[in-house]
């Protein structure tokens, strides 16, 4: 029983992670098509730290969790 629940949790976690990074890929492509700065060039404000777009899915998840509506 517990083994099955662990397998389900790992599967759901993997799917959620894949969805977040597929959204990131879509944003990279949209930025390229629209000739604008994409999430891979955006970093932490007031610093020169670039996260290469890897922080975008985390920021989206945090925004979703903290959204009031």
User: Which ranges of the chain does DSSP label H, i.e. alpha helix?
Assistant: 2-33, 56-66
* 53 in Cβ contact with 24 (< 8 Å): yes
Is this prediction's pTM over 0.75? no
Q: What is the DSSP letter of 30?
A: H
pLDDT digits 0-9 by tens, 4-57:
999 999 999 999 999 988 988 888 888 788 887 666 666 666 777 777 777 777
Question: Residue 43's beta-bridge partner residues?
Answer: 50
């Amino acid at each position: 029983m517990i083994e099955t629940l662990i397998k389900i949790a790992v599967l759901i976690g993997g799917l959620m992670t894949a969805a977040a990074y597929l959204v990131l890929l879509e944003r990279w492509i949209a930025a390229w098509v629209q000739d604008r700065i994409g999430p891979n060039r955006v970093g932490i404000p007031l610093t020169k730290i670039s996260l290469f777009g890897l922080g975008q899915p985390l920021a989206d998840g945090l925004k979703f969790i903290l959204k009031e509506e």
